[in-house]
A and B are shown apart, each in its own frame.
Chain A
Amino acid sequence: MTALLSFHKSIIERIHDPATSDLLILARGLGLRKIVCTLMKIYDSPQNLVLLVNATPEEESAIGEELGIMGCRRPGLRVVGYETASKDRQNLYKQGGIISVTSRILVVDMLQSDIPTELVTGMLVLHAEKVTPLVLEAFIVRLYREKNKKGFVKAFTDQPEHITSGMSPLKNIMKELQLRNVHIYPRFHEEIKKSLERRRADIVELSQNMTEPMADIHHAIIQCMTITLSELKRSNTTLDLDDLNVENAYFRSFEIVVRRQLDSVWHKVGPKTKQLVNDLGTLRRLLYYLLTYDALQFHAYLETLIAADNVGSNGGAKQHHSPWMLTDAANMIFEAAKRRCYLITSTSKAPKPVIDLTEDEDAWAALDEAEGLTKIPDQGKRKEKDGRPSWLPDGLEPILEELPKWNLLSEILLEAEGEMIRQESLKKSGALPSSSSNDTILVMTSSTRNCSLLTEFLASMNHAAPPGTRAQAMMLRKLRLYLWWKGELSKGDGKASFGMLDGNQRGADKPYGSGDREELSEALQKKDKEKAQRAQSRRRVRGGGPSGATGTRGEAVVKPEPKEFKLQEMRYEEDGFVEFWKSNEEALHSGQPLELLDDPMTLPDFGSDTLASDFDDNYGLLPPQQTVLIRAYSDDTDDRMLSEIKPKFIVMFEPDMDFVRRIEVYKSSNPGLAVRVYHMVYHDSCEEHKYLAAIRKEKNSFERLIKERGSMLITLVEDRREGSSANDALIKTISSRVAGGRRELNMEPSRVIVDMREFRSTLPSLLHAARLLVIPATLTVGDYILTPDICVERKSLSDLISSFNSGRLYTQCELMCAYYKFPILLIEFEEDKAFTLDIITEMKTYGKANKYPPKKQAGPPSDKPTYSSTTLQSKIVLLTLTFPRVRIIWSSSPYATADVFNDLKLNNAEPDPVKAIGIGADNDPDAGAGVNTAAEELLRCIPGITASNVKKVMNQVENVRELCCLSLTQVQAMIGKDAGKACYDFIHKGDRCACVDGVILI
């Protein structure tokens, strides 16, 4: 653990006092986690109970590790998740110490008094920027403050850009967290400046030009964005879309801004606008992919986009195409993207001839030479040109443009290596004192995908080739995989023949994936082994290959149908090819250790297990001078990584503001270390703009926050005592309107039983705010039980649509009608969003505040009498006709719902939680247990799984994956013959791996 810098210390001094509650806003990259961990260490003691709230699982584990390093091990940070049983949780809370709890669980525990709220020493809230009145964290703080006035709340955030909502965002956050003090530490804070700028890292800025096609595509994408934006502005003229410019559109937050602007009319805007907003996101991603994906993958992604665009949401041809796809610019994107990959020289795409042995031999020879070129560069290069791989379809000329940064990277590596040798010699001669930093070269990229791409590149790089062709080998392999994938894609388009080849899965995961072991039946495996052996004997075996790998990774070449022959063969070929490169890589590794990526930290991130074990078995660790580490930017975890690795050379493959700061902090806290940083940016690209704009944005938001702090009216936190609320309730109850006030007073606080799953929504929090006692329980029927007779099923608009589609609502209504006297369907709209149903385009919408009638006016519905039968409105009609007893509550927001609930509860008996849980559970022993909603949702969508048998499946099968491994008979035994068949067929349609009776042999 590195020492704290002076500004860290002063921050901690200011906020550590357990008597005060504070909000700390720190610029990103300056080590917020370090501060949080130091604070935790200070508070750590069995006498204290400190809760960490709102941490993601990744953060939890990283903070736990960090605390361990800091020497706070007994017991350190304990994590409470869904898996922890409630008994264990209670014990844990009693023991004290530092505990990280998922918000949803904490709310439930607080409501059920499983946690001694009054004894909690304090709470650390991460990601304070996300706190709004509606989130669970605000609910938690409210519950906490109700019973505990002494404990502290310390909130942290390092994302000032997100504190923007409303007139005075900072105030809102502080109000929700009931805080009085705020500390703002931007990068330009005097103290931070002083401690960081004493020592500057040695930074080399490298600006790389894009290749011509890339620049073309870049330009065209920007053009498409402009078109889409102006289209959006045109179709929503009344909206304030001033700050919607292309510059802003580089950012992810842009979509959120657009959505927020459109939210109030979102249900009226019609599919076209929605499409446009979506398109902006797609284009933004395309820009990013252009700079990071290799040419083939980028092209493949574009093709997927086109394929997906042609299919409407209901499977039929789509009515609304993305407008940008029809522009010239888009055409240019597609053309240029293709041109980066290959050229089609002849127009007639002749069917591939059957490759006979002799030709095959030629191919191998060519490939061998290609491989040989790592050793004899001059010959190899020439030969590769004319040695055209035989698997290439006729008329296809590979271009395979490489990303220019790859080349730059290889040059930097060379330079760093030279530097290392120079220093080594200096050290030997005693001219230079030996420093403690490692000679490791650290390459930082923006994503793990990019990591693996670079790894692959470095592993197969051909040093001697001229710039721009060094990754030829890798690209060729990718091209081959691409061609295979392309076959799959086009086949998928022909809806009828959906069934995939019963071929090998290897090809399937290979296009982008790292190699995985094939799962095959034994018989097939044997057959494959023979095949593989034959293939091997045909060519010169090189390097031996990882023994065993060939055997297990056999390919299931089942007798190919004539029309599938080409693909089959291609794949067959490809396998040999891949194996071949495997051995090739090996040669490279042993020959040139510099290229070996060998990092125990990196591998779990993206290396496949098999690869890792291979490395460990065969090669072991390398001395630091010879290692190149490739990592993706992550959060504060990078700080620790830097201090552990102590790299001397850092290559920032993509610009990243946070990481620059991390290096600053690292450099300042390790004064003796020499660091050289290479900072790569594509010249004049969105990457550059994005980097600069991000810096600007952060600065602006800090300035805004500081201004707001200066003029802030601090709200006094309202005291919500138990007594006062009871009094209020009393006054409410003695209403003279009610039977002249003769009614007996009900001293029991009015309560609502809420289903556990509903804690994802904001309503429970608001019900609590509306002075109702919220009792969490796992309900089988209904979401909210208001009285012994009234049961409410809450549906948000999107829920409503999906549960109508899945038929779930029907079953739910059926159940509610069976068990409750007054079943109620609550249709809840969102606050700030339009209070209206998604109006079908065919209908003219006038109504309130609706000045933007849908664009498409397709005439009266009489044209299409069948159309009307699918609208949401019709389904509601059908529901009321089927269940005349079901009432509907239309609520414009959760706030309104809370009011309505209070109305309904007025002077009615209170519900009984035990009874409510028991209703409809049918002696299910697991009633009341927690469920994994994501998995349940997925399961329900599978054909054959109905509301009636979903419980059974969930009890008998551990997870969806296990369900996929069951045999037909097993599935049928579980859910019945027809349903089981439907389920099994769906799951295994298009299977490529041969599963005999569902038994999977690994």
Chain B
Amino acid sequence: MSSSSNTVNAPPVVIPASGNNIVINPLQRGNPVLECIRNVGKEFGDIVADYQVGRTTGVLYLSLKYHRLHPEYILTRIEKLGHHYNLRILLILSDISEHKEPIRELTKVQDLLCSWPSGILPPFKACLINNITIIVAFSYEEAGHYLTTFKQFEFKPPDMIKERVDKDYHSILRTTLTSISRVNKTDVETLRTSFGSFANIAKANPDQLQNLPGFGQVKVKNIKNAFEKPFRNQA
């Protein structure tokens, strides 16, 4: 893992006046993505990445259409990037329909290739990881959204994706029960109104379930399996 000292070593990165702006490489002038970056400030500056969306986060932007024409471009850019930034993102805009091969190639770049001048694969052990995380966007809007969010979330704690936030009883009950396959919202409502509590639903016998409107044999079986089959078996 590259250390954060890399950032310190970073040569002429313009530290923006206000920390709230996305710093954009002048090369990106005219990119329609710029239009789609909303809610955050933008400024041009001389940086190695295309977009600097945080003190330690740099983004390279690549449109697959362009990549098809100039496959070597991104490699030179990655080389130039060197070891700057702690989190290095390659934002790919998937704007061609034959996306499978290029994305696969770039995935290799993400993990295997390092700063070799051409597309030739280098010896592997030496530079296994290029420290680049790929994000694929499917439209300019989405790409802009990503850039915006990177900036906005720069200092955000990861609470949002951590273990669930407290929600009200109903929605928890709904997510819990719909985790059983074939159980839908209507069924949750039916279960709740006919049995009352989760414990009672768990204890319901198959006949009772079978008799609820909208409950077929398969659904009842799934429910019973989830509630009554042991967690572990010796298989």
What residues of chain A have their CB less than 8 Å away from a CB belonging to chain B?
A: 82-86, 105, 285, 289, 293, 297-298, 300-301, 304-305, 307-308, 311, 313-315, 447-449, 452, 485, 488-489, 492, 495, 498, 500, 505, 508-509, 511-514, 516, 519, 606-608, 737-739, 789, 802, 804-811, 822, 824, 835-837, 839, 843-850, 860-862, 865, 868-871, 873-882, 884-893, 896, 899-900, 903-904, 906-908, 926, 929-932, 934-943, 946-947, 954-955, 957-961, 963-965, 986-993, 995
> A737-B121, A959-B230 in contact; A988/B185 too (CB < 8 A)?
no
B70 within 8 A of A: no
B231, A958: Cβ atoms under 8 Å? Answer: yes
> A888-B133, A935-B225 in contact; A304/B189 too (CB < 8 A)?
yes
Contact of B103 among A892, A930, A989 (CB under 8 A): A892
Contact of A868 among B129, B148, B227, B235 (CB under 8 A): B148
Q: Give the residues in chain B near A311, CB-CB below 8 Å.
A: 170, 185, 189
CA of A789 to CA of B128, assembled, Å: 10
- How far in angstroms is the closest Cβ of chain B from A299? 10
B138, A836: Cβ atoms under 8 Å? Answer: yes
B18 within 8 A of A: no
- How far in angstroms is the closest Cβ of chain B from A414? 28
B193 within 8 A of A: yes
Q: Give the residues in chain A near B156, CB-CB below 8 Å.
A: 878, 881
Q: Which residue of A lies closest to B92 (CB)?
A: A890
B156-199 CB mask vs A (1 if < 8 Å, else 0) is 10101111101111111111100111000110111011111111
- How far in angstroms is the closest Cβ of chain A from B180? 6
CA of A869 to CA of B207, assembled, Å: 44
Name the interface residues of B110-139: CB closer than 8 Å to any CB of A. Answer: 110-112, 120-121, 123-124, 128-129, 132-136, 138-139
B138-156 CB mask vs A (1 if < 8 Å, else 0) is 1111100110111011101
Q: Give the residues in chain B near A452, CB-CB below 8 Å.
A: 207, 210-211
CA of A303 to CA of B24, assembled, Å: 56
> A498-B169, A986-B172 in contact; A839/B38 too (CB < 8 A)?
no
B139, A847: Cβ atoms under 8 Å? Answer: yes
B19 within 8 A of A: no
CA of A937 to CA of B213, assembled, Å: 25
Q: Give the residues in chain A near B161, CB-CB below 8 Å.
A: 804, 807, 809-810, 875, 878-879, 882
Name the interface residues of B193-235: CB closer than 8 Å to any CB of A. Answer: 193-200, 202-205, 207-208, 210-217, 222, 225-235
B232, A315: Cβ atoms under 8 Å? Answer: no
Q: Give the residues in chain A near B89, CB-CB below 8 Å.
A: 880
B68 within 8 A of A: no
Name the interface residues of B83-122: CB closer than 8 Å to any CB of A. Answer: 86-87, 89, 92, 94-97, 99-100, 103-104, 107-108, 110-112, 120-121
B39 within 8 A of A: yes
B25 within 8 A of A: no
A86, B212: Cβ atoms under 8 Å? Answer: no
| 12 extra A-B contacts, CB within 8 A, seeds A845-B139, A903-B104, A906-B124 | A83-B233, A512-B212, A519-B203, A822-B128, A848-B96, A877-B150, A932-B230, A938-B227, A959-B228, A961-B203, A990-B197, A991-B199
- How far in angstroms is the closest Cβ of chain B from A276? 16
Q: Which residue of B lies closest to A813 (CB)?
A: B161
Contact of A900 among B107, B175, B192, B225 (CB under 8 A): B107
Q: Which residue of B lies closest to A492 (CB)?
A: B193
Q: Give the residues in chain B near A105, CB-CB below 8 Å.
A: 235
CA of A870 to CA of B54, assembled, Å: 20
CA of A957 to CA of B132, assembled, Å: 43
What are 22 A-B residue pairs whose CB atoms fall within 8 Å in the complex? A86-B235, A293-B213, A308-B185, A308-B186, A311-B170, A498-B169, A804-B161, A808-B163, A836-B94, A837-B138, A873-B142, A887-B133, A890-B136, A903-B104, A903-B107, A938-B226, A961-B227, A963-B202, A965-B199, A990-B196, A991-B196, A991-B197
B133, A884: Cβ atoms under 8 Å? Answer: yes
B1 within 8 A of A: yes
A511, B197: Cβ atoms under 8 Å? Answer: no
Q: Which residue of B lies closest to A885 (CB)?
A: B1
| Interface size counted on chain B using CB atoms at 8 A | 107
Q: Which residue of B lies closest to A875 (CB)?
A: B161
Q: Which residue of A lies closest to B158 (CB)?
A: A882
Q: Which residue of A lies closest to B185 (CB)?
A: A308
CA of A307 to CA of B213, assembled, Å: 14
Q: Which residue of B lies closest to A490 (CB)?
A: B193
- How far in angstroms is the closest Cβ of chain A from B164? 5
B86, A884: Cβ atoms under 8 Å? Answer: yes
- How far in angstroms is the closest Cβ of chain A from B52? 14
Q: Which residue of A lies closest to B134 (CB)?
A: A888
What residues of chain B have their CB less than 8 Å away from a CB belonging to chain A?
A: 1, 38-39, 54, 57, 86-87, 89, 92, 94-97, 99-100, 103-104, 107-108, 110-112, 120-121, 123-124, 128-129, 132-136, 138-142, 145-146, 148-150, 152-154, 156, 158, 160-164, 166-176, 179-181, 185-186, 188-190, 192-200, 202-205, 207-208, 210-217, 222, 225-235
- How far in angstroms is the closest Cβ of chain B from A996? 14
CA of A875 to CA of B138, assembled, Å: 16
Q: Which residue of B lies closest to A738 (CB)?
A: B121
Q: Give the residues in chain B near A508, CB-CB below 8 Å.
A: 194-196, 200
- How far in angstroms is the closest Cβ of chain B from A404? 20
B196, A500: Cβ atoms under 8 Å? Answer: yes
B158, A878: Cβ atoms under 8 Å? Answer: yes
Contact of A83 among B188, B193, B235 (CB under 8 A): B235
CA of A960 to CA of B136, assembled, Å: 40
> A877-B149, A964-B202 in contact; A314/B162 too (CB < 8 A)?
no
B124, A907: Cβ atoms under 8 Å? Answer: yes
Interface centre among A86, A738, A811, A881 (most CB of B within 10 A): A881
A810, B163: Cβ atoms under 8 Å? Answer: yes
> A846-B140, A930-B233 in contact; A511/B86 too (CB < 8 A)?
no
A848, B169: Cβ atoms under 8 Å? Answer: no
A315, B100: Cβ atoms under 8 Å? Answer: no
Q: Which residue of B lies closest to A739 (CB)?
A: B123
> A879-B161, A941-B179 in contact; A300/B213 too (CB < 8 A)?
yes
Interface centre among B148, B174, B199, B216 (most CB of A within 10 A): B199
- How far in angstroms is the closest Cβ of chain A from B61? 15
- How far in angstroms is the closest Cβ of chain B from A786? 10
Q: Which residue of B lies closest to A947 (CB)?
A: B163
Q: Give the residues in chain B near A934, CB-CB below 8 Å.
A: 180-181, 222, 225-226, 229
CA of A694 to CA of B235, assembled, Å: 42
A845, B180: Cβ atoms under 8 Å? Answer: no
- How far in angstroms is the closest Cβ of chain A from B169? 6
A873, B145: Cβ atoms under 8 Å? Answer: yes
Q: Give the residues in chain B near A489, CB-CB below 8 Å.
A: 193
Q: Give the residues in chain B near A882, CB-CB below 8 Å.
A: 158, 161
B153, A874: Cβ atoms under 8 Å? Answer: yes
A839, B149: Cβ atoms under 8 Å? Answer: no
Q: Give the residues in chain A near B198, CB-CB below 8 Å.
A: 942, 964, 986-989
> A514-B211, A847-B94, A885-B1 in contact; A929/B233 too (CB < 8 A)?
yes
- How far in angstroms is the closest Cβ of chain A from B39? 6
Q: Give the residues in chain B near A959, CB-CB below 8 Å.
A: 227-231
Q: Give the residues in chain A near B99, CB-CB below 8 Å.
A: 835, 848, 892
Q: Which residue of A lies closest to B170 (CB)?
A: A315
Q: Give the residues in chain B near A839, CB-CB below 8 Å.
A: 138-139, 142
A960, B111: Cβ atoms under 8 Å? Answer: no
Q: Give the residues in chain B near A874, CB-CB below 8 Å.
A: 145, 149, 153, 160
A308, B189: Cβ atoms under 8 Å? Answer: yes
- How far in angstroms is the closest Cβ of chain A from B71? 16
- How far in angstroms is the closest Cβ of chain B from A821? 8
A930, B203: Cβ atoms under 8 Å? Answer: no
CA of A888 to CA of B164, assembled, Å: 23
- How far in angstroms is the closest Cβ of chain A from B57? 7
A608, B230: Cβ atoms under 8 Å? Answer: no
The 4 closest A-B pairs by CB, nearest first: A807-B163, A513-B208, A930-B235, A847-B139
Q: Give the residues in chain B near A606, CB-CB below 8 Å.
A: 207, 210
CA of A965 to CA of B227, assembled, Å: 12
